Amino acid sequence: MPELPEVETVVRGLRTVLPGRRILNVRLGKTDFIEDPAALESQLPGGRIVAVRRHGKFIVVELDSENGRRQATSLLIHLGMTGQLVTCPTETRILPHTHVFFGLDDGRELRYTDIRRFGQMRILANGAHESVLGGLGLDPLEASEQEFSARIRARSAHIKALLLDQHVLRGMGNIYTDESLWRARIHPRRLGAKLSDAEVHKLYRVMRQVLNEAIRLGGSSISDYVDADGQPGEFQIWHRAYGREGKKCSRCGKTIQRIIVAGRSSYFCPGCQRASRKIRRKRTPR
């Protein structure tokens, strides 16, 4: 579920409460989504949180390296489809599927809840960041238009697949990809290498616009997503394509369709997101 705006919202929330806190203890439930559960239990207690960062859809909780014997480490968290990372008082009722508890030195806890356990959690020793996070693509909000254009044009895959590919861009997911393509009036099956200058320019602009608006509204909540305080986002109200199969396009009035592209449900308007002639011919053979 969580894409860049949701992860950014969670990180901003955590940033207001975690830095400066010391982790006192770690309690684990199911651990099949944790790379090395024993490492969490042995290396995190005693550590002080110094920063919380986002890298694509990953959350990086940085710990200090004080008292010499312990190496500086980071806690790397990916929320997968249904992961939630929330701080609350220790006595707060425990939600089902909560599998990780970090006891903090202010009487609160950082909890990780994940129904489907598609998330991921691991310890990163100092210096291991590059090997794990270095392979990811451009941050959509930091990349220049030139960099974006070069990456998109370099491969002739469907534009939908390119936007979703974390090695091309880091942070885009199914919702913001469909919303960006709708705003740019680009069909999800168009090929990256074949987009015009004007189309790439438009896509770059609207993608940043969509992401920034979503961040401002605290992300999109479809079912499971909540921020670091357990609150849902509000951007779903503004979706114009995602999840709107059968509804009228707010721009041209045609009916929004759902097709599978890159193995994912893809919502688009056949009226204002025209397929290339080649694709159209394939779909309506004479």
Residue 130 identity (one-letter amino acid): E
Residues 155-174 that bind DNA (CB under 7 A): 155-157, 161, 164, 166, 173-174
The catalytically annotated residue of 2, 37, 140, 188 is 2
Our CB check for DNA shows the closer of 157 and 272 to be 157
Binding of DNA by 2 (CB under 7 A): yes
Phi, psi of 271 (to 5 degrees): -80, -50
Burial status of residue 112 (CB atoms within 10 A of its CB: 0-12, 13-18, 19 or more): buried
CB of 158 to DNA, least distance (A): 7
Binding track over 114-143 against DNA, x by CB under 7 A: -xxxx-------------------------
Q: How far is CA 63 from the centre of its chain?
A: 22
Do 184 and 202 meet the contact criterion of CB atoms below 8 Å apart? yes
**Strand pairing partners for 75?**
61, 123
CB of 19 to DNA, least distance (A): 25
The tally of CA atoms less than 13 A away on the side-chain side of residue 28 is 15
Distances, alpha carbon 173 to alpha carbons 130, 140, 284, in Å: 23, 12, 30
Q: Any catalytic annotation for residue 245?
A: no
Our CB check for DNA shows the closer of 32 and 197 to be 32
Q: Any catalytic annotation for residue 264?
A: yes
**Strand pairing partners for 22?**
48
Show which residues are catalytic.
2-3, 57, 264
Binding interface with DNA (CB under 7 A): 1-3, 6, 32, 56-57, 78, 80-82, 96-97, 115-118, 155-157, 161, 164, 166, 173-175, 219-225, 233, 236, 258, 262-265
